[in-house]
Amino acid sequence: MKEELSRIGKNLNMITKRKNDRPNFVSAGKNEHWFFHKRLIVFIVLILLISGCSRKFYREDADREVDKLLNTAGQCDPLWDMSNFSLEQDPASRYSDFHDPEKLPMPPDDPMGHRLMECVDGMRGSSKWNENGQTNTVENLNWVQSLPAPVDGKIIIDQKVAYDLALVHSPNYRTAFENVYLSALNVIEERYKFDVLFYGGESLLYRNNGGFRDGSTSTLTNDLSFGGSKKLATGGTVLIGIANSLVWTFGGNGDRYSPSTSIGYSITQPLLRGAGRAIVLENLTLAERKLLANVRQLIFYQQGFYVYTLAGRSPISLPTTANYPSSGVNAASLSGFYGLLSTQIQILNQQQNVTSLQDNLNRYEELFKAGRVKSRVDVDRVRQDLLKSQSTLLSSKNNYQDSVESFLISIGLPPNIKDIQIKDSLLDQFVLMPKTLEEAQSYLDQYLADLRDTKKKVPDNFRAVYDELKKTTDAGSSETFKDIEHLQKDVSVSRAKAFKVLEERLKQDHKEAGVTFFTPAMLDKRIAAIRSDFDRTEKIKDEYGYDKAKGVKWLLNDIFRLMELTLLKYDRPTLTKMIQDTQAHPEKSPFSEEVIKLVYELQLESALLGEKEADFGEQYDTGLESSSEEARVRENLSKEYSAELKDKLQEVLEPSESSSVLDDPWRKWIQACLTRFSDDLMTLRLVQARARLETMQLAVVDIAPEDAFQVAAEHRLDWMNVRSNLVDQWRNIEIVADKLRGVLDLEMSGNINTKPENSTLSAGFKFDAPLDRLLERDNYRRALISYDQARRTYYNYVDNVNFDIRSTIRSIQLAQMDFELTRENVLTAIQQVHQAQLALTEPPKTSSKVGTVSSTAAMDLVDSLSSLLNTQNTLMRTWLEYHVKRMNLLLMLGLFEINEEGRWIDPGDINSKLLQKYSDGNYPTQDELSGIDKLPTTEKLTGGRDIEEIASEMEKKEAVQKPAPKKEPIPKKEPAFAQGASAK
């Protein structure tokens, strides 16, 4: 072996050695020396290129080419601009990978499965898998920085934050961009097939013949090849290559050197099957068209993604990797972020229902102890509904937490984020009874509960209670005043316009419904009633002839004034003595005339004067004109009933198990005042609820389905894709039909060698007759059927779009009327609750000590509270569903717009003016984009003649050209009964 290697080395030295003593070999030696070093350099370069460029180079090169391609595709229309397209993830994304893309560590593996990487079937595995190390997590732990900064320990998520988080973290949103990127790679691959494709390489091969014996020969061969090929748009293929070969032979008959260089070429051009640009460019054209479709689908999906994040269901399908994306707009739903807000309002309404039931249960317990409620069943009925409401509240809160965690997963976040608070002002308008008065009611209920419990000591100083109630009530009154002002000045005008639309629609389409209250006059009347019930200064007669008290604002002022003149003016012993003196001698009451008048106005006679004296409260006119008249009435009352009243007062003042505070006039007086205050506070809450109820508005949708359909035909991005897909199916017929043809190719090939005798040239035609085309025939028939199916699919798509638009418009218009009807239901429920609660606090109508509460009062109260809860929730969901349907309608019309920050631009009312904006040339039509002239009209095709006239002329021409067929006599056929007779 050593001898052979030494001999090879000597031969190589001999080749490169200059031989001055042989002039005829000097030139050959120089050429050999130059060729060898050149080949050696090329060989080394090729060795270095074997491994190719770095992974980073290829990745970045692919990104650059895709970006360039997408920018070109996006230049077709500003609506689908792709200049900002990028696969780079936000560093704050949970799915962002901070490792080097070319050196990704191994993610967490299954322990048992990992053993198979170390040893498989008894063979040691590769250590390559551990070169980049391992990681114990696949998520970016820095994603927490994308969350908003906590406020008071809570991470507040509103509409804006929810959408921003979804853009950063959503896996589906990321997939949409990746699919467009992959679709662009398909185009690059198809374009690559028409590029000049270069190839090149070199080989160095040593071969020994005969072993290492004397006389054996060895060869060292160095081959270098380089060339390129080009596919032409006509279907032809051109290939040119250069091959250079150097062979050194050692031993045998002497050392020899044999260089050889040749240029090879080949040209093939189909003339029948596979020829022509329509056939050759089809795959590239199809890839380009599908990329354009996916670019449009990405923009369409981004619009729908906004709806998905907020409404909880993606109305638009994702772009695809190779095919046309799915078309259509899915129906609206109500989950997602809006669903969470909806559940919050439902929980709040449920809490108010629990609070109201708890307050009324306490009242029923007191009335039952006092004997005014005769049956324990009535009390238990309220208690049972309270327990049921509490159970529903607990279940709702639990379900809400599940919904929050599910929503976090839908936008790409883990469900275990702590201290998340979903908060947005979108549905604040449906909080009919705001927090200010709710706090006052809760504070009052708790104080009354403590007051009724004689085991609990109540502070003698009433100032703190008064100040708290005064502060919250004044704030609530101020809010109510602002709501009424807003209703009168801002809302009434826009609602009046909406009513005109509804009124006109009712006249045209829904006369049979008999709904007639959608009028501006009705709204003005209702607003005036709300204002009157709030700040009316005197009693009035309502439309039914019943007395209506002063406005709740003045009633609350009266009760506060009464508490100032009694509970704040006197200490506990003094006030107790004054109440006892009044009960013993009403005609000598130590209270001022203002107090007595307020007592009768507020119907607190029984609390101050006793049950019998209270019967004459109806005779005490609160509108007394002078103090002398008041004194006269009091004197007459005292003379007539003083004896009987003394006996009754003894019964009232005696301790009794039926009432827990009768033995303490001071506590009884506070309880009476605060119970009346609670009634007036509830009235204020209901007045504010009525005002807020009337301020709710819907953006009006008033468009003709035909106009909407026409706009959708011009602007919907998926409709553009459906048209493209149909044309591709039509073009496919030509592509498949091409394979029915025979093969006729022009071929030319040869090579030019340094040795002319080795050069070759061949040229000719290659023909393959179409003798067997069964499979091609079947495929052609399939293509025709596929196109026919595609046409029907297209028309079905158009019909479905038409139907969806018409159905959605009808659904929205119905929701507008349904919202107004539900508003009426809520208003009725509010009044029912008010009347049911007043029924519990009405003074006795007889002269007996105790008045009996109606046996149906409990059921009425429970039913009214349940009705209010249900109608409130229905109203809120109707509004929210309407809001989502409007968003879906804009998607269906192709008019859903997003600003630079990715926010939806709400156009407000959707009417003919909005549609006209998009039909005035602001956006190009489909015909303008495609450059296709519209089809000629029937009148232009027929020259203005009637179609039936043309058809008649054609029939006459055909009759002249073709002789009439001979009519053969039709054989007579016997009737069935005759045949049967002959057979017999």
Give the pLDDT confidence of 928-983 residue by residue, as tens digits: 444 444 445 545 555 555 656 666 776 666 666 555 555 455 444 443 333 433 33
Decide: helix, strand or coil at residue 318: coil
Per residue in 38-57, pLDDT tens?
A: 555 655 555 555 556 788 88
Angle separating helix axes 435-452 and 336-370, nearest 10 degrees: 30
* H or E element in which residue 35 lies: helix 23-50
Q: Is the distance from CB of 356 to CB of 751 less than 8 angstroms?
A: no
- How many CB atoms neighbour CB 654 within 10 A? 9
Closest-CA residue to 720 (of 294, 301, 306): 294
Q: Which pTM does this prediction carry?
A: 0.78
* Euclidean distance between the first and the last CA atom of the chain, given in angstroms as a whole number: 115
Assigned token pair, 121: 């079937």
3-state SS of 362-397?
Answer: HHHHHHHHHCCCCCHHHHHHHHHHHHHHHHHHHHHH
Assigned token pair, 359: 């307050």
pLDDT of the residue at 24: 38
- DSSP result, 450-499: HHH-TTS---S--HHHHHHHHHHHHHHHHHHHHHHHHIIIIIHHHHHHHH
Decide: residue 940, CB within 10 A, 0-12 exposed, 13-18 middle, 19+ buried: exposed
Half-sphere exposure of 370 (CA within 13 A, CB side): 24
Angle separating helix axes 435-452 and 665-695, nearest 10 degrees: 160
C-alpha to C-alpha distances, 255 to 8, 28, 282, 365, 527, nearest whole angstrom: 11, 14, 57, 125, 117
Sequence-separated (6 or more) residues with CB below 8 Å from residue 156: 148, 421, 423
Assigned token pair, 195: 């590029």
pLDDT of the residue at 644: 42
Pairing assessment for the beta strands 910-911 and 540-541 based on DSSP bridges: unpaired
Angle separating helix axes 705-715 and 912-919, nearest 10 degrees: 30
CA distance 353 to 389: 7
Residue 953 identity: E
- Which residues, given as ranges, of the chain have pLDDT below 50? 1-5, 7-30, 32-34, 612-661, 844-850, 921-935, 938, 967, 970-984
Assigned token pair, 343: 């559940």
Q: Is the sign of the CA dihedral 31, 33, 39, 41 positive or negative? A: negative
C-alpha to C-alpha distances, 161 to 90, 175, 315, 407, 906, nearest whole angstrom: 16, 21, 21, 13, 18
- How many CB atoms neighbour CB 44 within 10 A? 11
Pairing assessment for the beta strands 123-124 and 540-541 based on DSSP bridges: unpaired
Q: Is the distance from CB of 191 to CB of 199 less than 8 angstroms?
A: no
C-alpha to C-alpha distances, 167 to 23, 122, 221, nearest whole angstrom: 81, 49, 61
CA distance 387 to 597: 42
Closest-CA residue to 894 (of 712, 763, 766, 758): 712
Q: Is the sign of the CA dihedral 443, 446, 448, 451 positive or negative? A: negative
CA distance 582 to 572: 15
C-alpha to C-alpha distances, 722 to 290, 795, 953, nearest whole angstrom: 11, 10, 40
To 5 degrees, how large is the angle CA 808–CA 810–CA 813?
105
Pairing assessment for the beta strands 701-702 and 910-911 based on DSSP bridges: parallel
**E-assigned strand segments in 116-216:** 119-120, 123-124, 155-157, 197-209
To 5 degrees, how large is the angle CA 627–CA 629–CA 634?
95
Q: Is the distance from CB of 274 to CB of 235 less than 8 angstroms?
A: yes
Assigned token pair, 874: 């229905």
The strand pairing partners of 908, in sequence order, are: none
Phi first, then psi: give them for residue 485, nearest 5 degrees.
Answer: -60, -45
Max alpha carbon distance in the chain (Å)?
166
Pairing assessment for the beta strands 420-422 and 760-768 based on DSSP bridges: unpaired
Closest-CA residue to 721 (of 351, 329, 348, 424): 329
